[in-house]
């Protein structure tokens, strides 16, 4: 039995899944008598560690974005001080679904290996990592899941996370994240492409439609401060991590993923890119099949995509000032249609109502946002 004195959890959560998982772990720690701190990294100004002599355990909990840990979490870990305690653990929440009665898992990719390696380089030993298949919140890709499905996935995950917490807190090592390692490594080029380019594209697919009341909730709630007001309407900067908090929290349902416009962006930028690469190869006489050129051309494509999408988004934002254009964007966005549900994590009360077996709940003492 490990004799931890304290548990510190640092979490990032776009729509509540990682936060709830952090809370479940904290509740198990409190039951065992540990002093427990749970902190959201998105508004954290500094790391305060009351006593580095005591036996501390640190956990990092975060969603999976593009088969990787979200950049905000990677940056946090990169700047995390070394030597606060010997051991840490990691939990990544993934996008789980339920098809009929079968729970289907998400995919981790590099989301556990990269943070574990970064922390190992800082001298921390990882005593456990585990993916948890919470409901998928990626509503740019698919409509939010039905309430009953979300509740059922939550109930399943609660047991999984609490069991993981109990094993870790009792001194066991749990490397559940290793099960899918071969598939995770196979998918790693996609993680890299997402990290270098894909996420910038996604950040420029969000618009506020004519229902926007300028209430400012999206701006105030954005974990990366990536939404600003430009010409009286919200504008998404490249630093947006597509965490889905704004889309899901907007009381007017005014935030859309502009699917029609995104398709136009892809076609237009690809055409420009192909032209540019052809021009370069013709002008310089480079063989297009040379391996080094293939690698460089990938980087050129990413740069063209980021520059192109930034410019086109500025034009889109300006055009949104005109009513006919607003209607065009709205009706070519799948998120407009009533069947395209928003994602809402399950509040504890609601889950307890639907969960027949009652559980003893222990309040988390600290800093849960
Ligand atoms: C931009 C984006 C990318 C995602 N990428 C993945 C992924 O690669 N693998 C996966 O299993 N789930 C993926 N998801 C789903 C989320 O990781 C999952 O729903 C998570 O539980 C959300 O946690 P949160 O509510 O704490 O933000 C993605 C979601 C978003 C919004």
For the stretch 266-318, pLDDT in tens is 999 999 999 999 999 999 988 888 889 989 999 999 999 999 999 999 999 99
Q: Of the residues 143, 168, 186, which one is the last residue of a structural domain?
A: 186
The answer on 96 and 30 residing in a single domain is yes
349 band by pLDDT with thresholds 50, 70 and 90 = low
Q: Of the residues 167, 186, 205, which one is the last residue of a structural domain?
A: 186
Is pLDDT of 351 > 70? no
| 224-263 b/e (C-beta count within 10 Å ≥ 16 → b) | bebbeeeeebbbbbeebbbbbbbbbbbeebbbbbbbbbbe
Please indicate whether residue 243, judged by its CB atom, sits closer than 6 Å to ligand 1: yes
Q: What is the pLDDT of residues 61-80, one digit of tens each?
A: 999 999 999 999 999 999 99
The answer to the question of residue 54 being in a domain is yes
The answer on 216 and 149 residing in a single domain is no
Q: Of the residues 186, 217, 252, which one is the last residue of a structural domain?
A: 186
Is pLDDT of 53 > 90? no
The answer on 257 and 110 residing in a single domain is no
The answer to the question of residue 43 being in a domain is yes
Q: What is the pLDDT of residues 222-271, one digit of tens each?
A: 999 999 999 999 999 999 999 999 999 999 999 999 999 999 999 999 99
Q: What average pLDDT does the structure give for the chain?
A: 91
Q: What is the pLDDT of residues 202-217, one digit of tens each?
A: 999 999 999 999 999 9
The answer to the question of residue 300 being in a domain is yes
Phi then psi dihedrals of residue 168, to 5 deg: -65, -45
Please indicate whether residue 248, judged by its CB atom, sits closer than 6 Å to ligand 1: no
Distance 136 CA to ligand 1 centre (A): 6
Distance 57 CA to ligand 1 centre (A): 26
Among 344, 99, 140, residue whose Cα is nearest residue 259: 140
Residue 64 alpha carbon, nearest atom of ligand 1: 17
The answer on 172 and 231 residing in a single domain is no
Whichever domain contains 47, its CATH number is: 3.40.50.360
Instruction: Give CA–CA dist 311/36, Å, rounded.
Output: 46
pLDDT at residue 286 in the model: 86
Instruction: Give CA–CA dist 91/13, Å, rounded.
Output: 12
Please indicate whether residue 244, judged by its CB atom, sits closer than 6 Å to ligand 1: yes
The answer on 162 and 284 residing in a single domain is no
The answer on 275 and 255 residing in a single domain is yes
364 band by pLDDT with thresholds 50, 70 and 90 = very low
The answer on 242 and 129 residing in a single domain is no
The answer to the question of residue 250 being in a domain is yes
Whichever domain contains 238, its CATH number is: 3.30.70.20
Question: How many domains are contained in the chain?
Answer: 2
pLDDT at residue 354 in the model: 56
Distance 229 CA to ligand 1 centre (A): 27
Instruction: Give CA–CA dist 96/103, Å, rounded.
Output: 7
Q: Which residue has the least CA distance to atom 14 on ligand 1? A: 95
Block residue for tokens 């996008």: 95
Distance 149 CA to ligand 1 centre (A): 17
The answer to the question of residue 286 being in a domain is yes
Is pLDDT of 28 > 60? yes
Q: Which residue has the least CA distance to atom 15 on ligand 1? A: 95
The answer to the question of residue 363 being in a domain is no
Please indicate whether residue 13, judged by its CB atom, sits closer than 6 Å to ligand 1: yes
Please indicate whether residue 92, judged by its CB atom, sits closer than 6 Å to ligand 1: no
The answer on 176 and 34 residing in a single domain is yes
Please indicate whether residue 273, judged by its CB atom, sits closer than 6 Å to ligand 1: no
The answer to the question of residue 144 being in a domain is yes
Sequence-distant contacts of 41-44: CB under 8 A, at least 24 apart: 41/10, 41/11, 41/12, 41/72, 41/73, 41/76, 42/12, 42/72, 42/223, 42/224, 43/223, 43/369, 44/10, 44/76
Distance 275 CA to ligand 1 centre (A): 34
The answer on 142 and 284 residing in a single domain is no
The answer on 131 and 27 residing in a single domain is yes
Full-model pTM: 0.92
Which tokens sit at 150?
């979300």
Domain assignment of residue 275, given as a range: 193-336
The answer on 199 and 158 residing in a single domain is no
Which tokens sit at 110?
């590099």
């Amino acid at each position: 039995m490990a004799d931890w004195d304290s548990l510190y959890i640092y979490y990032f959560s776009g729509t509540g899944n990682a936060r709830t998982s952090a809370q479940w772990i904290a509740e198990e720690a409190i039951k065992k008598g540990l002093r427990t701190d749970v902190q959201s990294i998105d508004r954290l100004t500094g790391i305060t560690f009351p006593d580095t002599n005591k036996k501390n355990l640190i956990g990092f909990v975060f969603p999976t974005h593009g088969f990787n840990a979200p950049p905000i979490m990677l940056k946090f870990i990169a700047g995390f001080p070394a030597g606060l305690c010997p051991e840490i653990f990691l939990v990544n929440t993934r996008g789980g679904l339920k098809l009929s009665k079968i729970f289907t898992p998400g995919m981790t990719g590099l989301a556990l290996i990269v943070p574990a390696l970064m922390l190992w380089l800082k001298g921390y030993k990882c005593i456990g990592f585990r993916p948890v298949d919470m409901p998928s919140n990626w509503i740019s890709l698919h409509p939010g899941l039905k309430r009953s499905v979300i509740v059922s996935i939550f109930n399943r995950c609660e047991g999984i996370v609490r069991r993981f917490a109990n094993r870790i807190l009792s001194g066991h090592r749990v490397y559940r994240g290793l099960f899918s390692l071969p598939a995770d490594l196979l998918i790693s080029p996609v993680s890299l492409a997402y990290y270098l380019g894909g996420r910038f594209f996604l950040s420029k697919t969000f618009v506020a439609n004519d229902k926007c009341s300028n209430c400012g909730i999206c701006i105030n709630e954005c974990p990366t401060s990536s939404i600003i007001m430009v010409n009286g309407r919200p504008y998404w900067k490249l630093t947006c991590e597509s965490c889905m908090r704004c889309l899901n929290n907007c009381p007017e349902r005014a935030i859309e993923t502009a699917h029609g416009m995104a398709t136009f962006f892809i076609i237009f930028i690809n055409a420009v890119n192909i032209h540019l690469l052809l021009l370069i190869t013709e002008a310089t006489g480079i063989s297009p099949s040379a391996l080094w050129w293939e690698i460089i051309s990938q980087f050129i494509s990413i740069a063209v995509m980021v520059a192109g999408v930034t410019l086109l988004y500025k034009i889109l934002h300006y055009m949104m000032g005109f009513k006919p254009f607003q209607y065009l964007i709205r009706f070519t966005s799948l998120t407009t249609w009533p069947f395209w549900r928003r994602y809402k994590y399950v509040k504890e009360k609601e889950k307890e109502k639907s969960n027949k077996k009652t559980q003893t709940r222990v309040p988390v003492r600290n800093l849960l946002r």
